[in-house]
Amino acid sequence: MLDREQRNMVLALLIVAVVSTMLLATTDMFTREPIAKAQREALHRALMQVMPPHTNDPQKDAFDVQREGSKLRIYPARDAKGGLLALAWEEIAPDGYSGRIRILMAVEPDGVLHAVRITDHRETPGLGDGIVTNHAWLASFQGKSLDNAKWKVRKDGGDFDQFTGATISPRAVVKAVHRGLLFFREHRDDLLQLSRGSEQKAVMEEGP
């Protein structure tokens, strides 16, 4: 049996636990939507940077595919007549100098890269972070495909520059983008078919 002091202590701990749970639940309720909204806006800005001018909402028209046991979200860009301009998705380079590098890439239906952008990284400021700050280097991906480029940095015999004192970061990005283009080539027909399905779904949701 618990004595009075022990019962009071247990009751106090129980009250603290209940209040803490309520505070966490309330905080989550009020912050969940603002956080989700900020994430959608950040993704919108990134998609606008990698996609050609389009008239649809890529996030609304997005569809998911299975890839290596996990879900991959694909964002289509379309013109005013519904024609597909590009598909965008995120590749992850696991072998950056300081960890994972997240890369948003947009590929045109013929397998040509429209653009790439780095959406998250922890590379060294002034060295590896050139994958974000070196705009000329990022622009060098535009128009590249599996057929018109050697997908390695120049140090390894490829077509893409590395940075002075920092080869690992650009090498990881080039490798990941190359992997994304291989994925597109292998599944091109399925991806284009799914993009048509997402277009039909968007039209049905919008109504006449």
Q: What is the DSSP string of 137-181?
A: HHHTTTT--SSS---SBGGGTSSB--BTTB-HHHHHHHHHHHHHH
Report pLDDT for 172: 96
Question: Mean pLDDT lowest for which of 24-33, 51-60, 91-100, 182-191?
Answer: 24-33
**Whole-angstrom distance, CA of residue 149 vs CA of residue 151:** 6
Question: If we measure between CA atoms, which residue out of 208, 180, 3 comes closest to residue 87?
Answer: 180
Model confidence at 42: pLDDT above 90: no
| Span 29-55, average pLDDT | 79
Residues 84, 192: contact at Cβ < 8 Å? yes
Which strand (E) or helix (H) includes residue 7?
helix 4-50
pLDDT (0 to 100) of residue 126: 84
How far is 116 from 185, CA to CA, in rounded Å?
Answer: 17
Strand, helix or coil at 124?
A: coil
When mean pLDDT is compared across 5-9, 62-66, 122-126, 158-162, the lowest value belongs to 5-9
- Average pLDDT on 98-125 reads 95
- Return the higher-pLDDT residue of 200 and 73: 73
Residues whose CB is less than 8 angstroms from the CB of residue 133 and which lie 6 or more positions away in sequence, other chains included:
none
Per-residue pLDDT averaged across 105-130, rounded?
94
